[in-house]
Amino acid sequence: MIPMSPLLSVNGLSVSVGDKEILDGVSLAVSSGEIHFLMGPNGSGKSSLAYAMAGHPEYRVTSGSVWLGDTDITPLTPEARAAAGLFLSFQEPPEIGGVSMSVFLKTIAADSEPHAVGERAVGLLPKLRLEPAFLSRLVNEGFSGGEKKKSEMLQLAARRPRIAILDEADSGLDVDALASIAEIVREHAAMGTAFLLISHSPRLLERIRPASVHIMVGGRIAASGGEELIGMIEEKGYNAFL
């Protein structure tokens, strides 16, 4: 059987912000339906890689490329990358004043059928332990950290992306919410969505069996492998990868 090409391919990506290089030759690949973890200490470049893949204008690609399927998305705008199927959840999601969650979900939906989008969102509310009134609230306005992460799971369900990059998806969550989000990630992966989950903690990994784990240190991928890398982190810390 001929192996499938990766859905997401990051090839030798180097990125600068201003005059400072923050990513140095990063390469990784994620196939449809796979869940990968990107871990590393604070300041290692994990979020910078996410922003660069999403096309944040402050993150200037100096070499390398990012491919989504057979399309080089490196020169595309953030909007075009999102339209191509890339979804990014932020570590600190911004407030969107004057826009309710229900309107926002219908606006970003992958399909144009409001009823279907509404059903998907309402169906997730009990799993996330949210009341129906949550959909009437303004996006991220007055949300707790945990509510912001749950909001992103509703956005994921509405958008149905090809690749989802979740930055600190476990931040601010209690044990029950963490289990719910892990379940949602597994369900979407089973439907073909690829995931790159970014964290410096193994909390979410304990509930999801990843296809691969990548360790980032100093703007580089220092190691890629399986869950055995987590044991190395727990035993020796990230210094083991310097």
pLDDT (tens place) for every residue of the chain, 242 residues total: 344 679 999 999 999 999 999 999 999 999 999 999 999 988 899 999 999 999 999 999 999 999 999 999 999 999 999 999 999 988 777 888 889 998 888 888 766 566 677 677 778 899 899 999 999 999 989 998 888 889 999 999 888 899 999 988 777 778 888 888 899 999 999 999 999 999 877 777 778 889 999 999 999 999 999 988 888 888 888 888 87
The reported pLDDT for the residue numbered 1 is: 38
Can you give the pLDDT at residue 110? Answer: 67
Q: Are 167 and 138 within 8 A, CB to CB?
A: no
Q: How many residues does the chain have?
A: 242
CA–CA distance, 208 with 83 (Å, rounded to integer): 27
Nearest CA among 34, 84, 8 for reference residue 191: 34
Q: Tell me the fold of 15-65+77-236.
A: Rossmann fold (3.40.50)
Cα pseudo-dihedral 213, 124, 96, 79, rounded to 10? 50
**Cα(101)–Cα(162) distance, rounded to whole angstroms?**
22
Cα end-to-end span (Å), the chain:
38
Predicted local distance difference test score (pLDDT) of residue 111: 62
Query: Using CA atoms, how far apart are residues 166 and 54, in angstroms rounded to an integer?
Result: 12
Structural domain boundaries in the chain = 15-65+77-236
Q: Is this structure's pTM higher than 0.85? A: yes
Distance of CA 229 to the CA centre of its chain: 20
